[in-house]
Structure 1
Amino acid sequence: MSLERTLTVRVERISQQTPEILAFELAHPWGRALPSYEAGAHIDVHMPGGFSRQYSLARAPSDAGSYVIGVKREVASRGGSASMHERVREGDLLPISAPRNTFPLRTEARHHLLLAGGIGMTPLLAMAQSLAARGAAFTLCVFARSEEHLAFADALRAPDLAPHLRLHLDQGDASQRIDLTALLAEREADTHLYVCGPGGFMQAVRNAAAHWPEDTVHAEYFAAPTDANTTTGQAFTLRLAQRGISVPVAADQTAVDALHEVGIDIPVSCQQGLCGTCVVEGDGTGAEHRDYCLTGSERRTRVALCCSRAKGQELVLQL
């Protein structure tokens, strides 16, 4: 159970971006300012039917006072995208979380290479707009099936983004397609890579960038890979250093669930190791990390409790 702040927003505008993607503009129902955020942030949206899903904010932070998200209607929807497409209308009120960011732009990078697959362009569009606004060096590569399936096309072709845009269309001119292996073969000094998109696209980028330093590759996943194991494993004990107590975790139980059973609340959201809501400080060197939100260096001192387990019999947390 999460104790995070919940906001109520009004659906100001719904626009058709592609045959499968709708954009939703969300504003405060009384015209007040919404909480600020940095590019790469996402929100939880609680929608009709009792569903809750995470959506990236698809516009650079501004004084506009509204958030924009893109929602793709998934053929194999578990109910979330279908609810947004079929049941949400302009004027409706929706509860959302405050923005949080586990996919930020890295201040140490001199050049930013943004790779967006399909609807995965939403956080990267916000990043590109932010980078353009401050005159930073970046390249935005967008992969889509065709022009018809290119979401937020007007924003992409804005004068400040167009010079930085490389567009790959599966059904377009072969000469304009991007070869991932060639694109990522050589890494220029101080370049950081950011990637978001469907699972197959993510894996292809990961494979092509396997030789890049781990802390220079940053990814935002829609869902954990199908072969991910986020719950089962050997039983172990959590040692809570600040409380001076130990909590047992069963083989078929998550660390979050074990802590909840003894009355210690850890906020959770995606429960797949994607969003970073449940990340806490701890001895990451003793953890079997199964998350998709922490970098290699972050894993030395932080642990995502919804999915990670101990390498041995005990995992020490700063709780």
Structure 2
Amino acid sequence: MVERTLTVRVARIARQTPEILSFELAHPAGRPLPGYQAGAHIDVHMPGGFSRQYSLARADGGDASTYLIGVKREAASRGGSASMHARVREGDLLPISAPRNTFPIHAEAKRHVLLAGGIGMTPLLAMAQALAREGADFELCLFVRSEEHLAFADALREPLLAPHVRVHFDDGDASRKINLRQLLAVRRPGTHLYVCGPGGFMQAVRNAAAHWPEDVVHAEYFAAPADAAGGTGKPFVLRLAERGITVPVAGDQTAVDALHAFGIDIPVSCEQGLCGTCVVGCEGEGAEHRDFCLTRSERAHKVALCCSRAKGDELVIAL
């Protein structure tokens, strides 16, 4: 189950804001890249041995000739964003994963409200472009510090997209700022909400939309919230239904670690329950879910093994 990677060439690097660079990635031989749906992300393996997930910031127009990502240089970077900014150059070759989507557009929605904080705009920009092409009913609201910190401004000004875009500048005219509680006070029937951004912004949206049904609020996190439970806890046993074997998971182990120690390879990436790489099927309601990528309905039959555990003594998984 080793994850397949593909090699791409860095075709173009552009400065979007003082802290954000965009990277356009192409096939080295000029061939099309694997297609994807808006909201998808890729893992980028970069110099220094780092691997990070980045959302694709442009809707797939049908040919996927290039991928576009935005990378913010984080002051408290663990090395990933610093490596992309300081060590990656145009013409370099980078291994990446195929696109994965744990943050899709919900086609059943009658209206879509997209809320982005800062660099969290990247998956939502692709969603907005896809929705605009479909003639869907949607609104893209961006919350950024200042006009100088607004990334992908040219894309936002495109005639098809611009009428659907609202921008909140922290340092801007108070009369033009967006009040989250007012914006989300009333949910029109059939409306779905999508949110991505820093932890504080995510929590503010969650608070303002606390009265919305859980299954219509969709979120993608950059990192697990500070109060997240993590992947350790009391010991339990994994029962692998397809293999007919059991694997013990110690209290200081994650399920993924226990499987790896047993010789069973499970692909992992973020190891925080964010990306969905390690999600497998599970049986019943035996999982104690600690992820941030599965919906409530998905949790009835799936589990993220990097962080979730068993409620009781055993968890049955489809492996």
Cα pair 1:291 1:308 within 8 Å, conserved? yes
* Distance in 2, Cα, partners of 1:93 & 1:84: 12
Cα pair 2:280 2:318 within 8 Å, conserved? yes
Cα pair 1:284 1:303 within 8 Å, conserved? no
* Distance in 2, Cα, partners of 1:36 & 1:232: 36
2:25 is paired with a residue of what secondary structure? strand
- String of CA shifts for 1:72-126, please: whole Å, max 9, x gaps: 0000110000000000011111110010000000011111100010000000000
* Distance in 1, Cα, partners of 2:81 & 2:32: 27
* Mapping for residues 76-155 of structure 1, pairs under 5 Å: 76-155=76-155
The root-mean-square deviation of aligned C-alpha atoms, in Å, is 0.9
Cα pair 1:284 1:299 within 8 Å, conserved? no
Tell me whether 1:26 sits opposite 2:28 in the alignment: no
* Distance in 2, Cα, partners of 1:305 & 1:82: 29
Match of 1:299 in 2: 299
Q: Return 271-280 or 237-246, whichever deviates more.
A: 237-246
* Mapping for residues 148-227 of structure 1, pairs under 5 Å: 148-227=148-227
Deviation at 1:229, TM superposition (A): 2.2
Cα pair 2:280 2:302 within 8 Å, conserved? yes
* Distance in 1, Cα, partners of 2:144 & 2:283: 41
Q: Return 198-207 or 56-65, whichever deviates more.
A: 56-65
Cα pair 1:284 1:302 within 8 Å, conserved? no
Cα pair 1:113 1:140 within 8 Å, conserved? yes
* Distance in 2, Cα, partners of 1:184 & 1:258: 43
Q: Tell me, which stretches of 5 or more residues in structure 2 are unaligned?
A: none
* Distance in 2, Cα, partners of 1:262 & 1:84: 35
1:285 is paired with a residue of what secondary structure? coil
* Mapping for residues 248-287 of structure 1, pairs under 5 Å: 248-283=248-283, 285-287=285-287
Match of 1:5 in 2: 4
- String of CA shifts for 1:188-243, please: whole Å, max 9, x gaps: 11110000000100011111111111110100100111221222210001111222
Compared CA separation, residues 221 and 46, structure 1 to 2 (3 A): same
Cα pair 2:289 2:309 within 8 Å, conserved? yes
* Distance in 1, Cα, partners of 2:297 & 2:212: 14
Question: Which letter maps to 1:51?
Answer: F
Match of 2:40 in 1: 41
Cα pair 2:34 2:64 within 8 Å, conserved? no
2:123 is paired with a residue of what secondary structure? helix
Tell me whether 1:289 sits opposite 2:289 in the alignment: yes
Deviation at 1:164, TM superposition (A): 0.6
Identical pairs, percent: 78
Compared CA separation, residues 64 and 280, structure 1 to 2 (3 A): closer
Q: TM-score, normalised by structure 1?
A: 0.98
Deviation at 1:247, TM superposition (A): 0.9
Q: Return 228-237 or 108-117, whichever deviates more.
A: 228-237
* Distance in 2, Cα, partners of 1:247 & 1:5: 26
Match of 1:228 in 2: 228
1:82 is paired with a residue of what secondary structure? helix
Cα pair 2:235 2:249 within 8 Å, conserved? yes
- String of CA shifts for 1:3-61, please: whole Å, max 9, x gaps: 11111111000000000000000000110110000000000001111100000000000
Deviation at 1:244, TM superposition (A): 1.6
1:266 is paired with a residue of what secondary structure? coil
Deviation at 1:185, TM superposition (A): 1.0
Q: TM-score, normalised by structure 2?
A: 0.98
* Distance in 1, Cα, partners of 2:44 & 2:156: 25
How many residues are matched? 318
Question: Which letter maps to 2:35?
Answer: S
2:6 is paired with a residue of what secondary structure? strand
Deviation at 1:284, TM superposition (A): 5.5
Compared CA separation, residues 284 and 139, structure 1 to 2 (3 A): farther
Cα pair 2:114 2:193 within 8 Å, conserved? yes
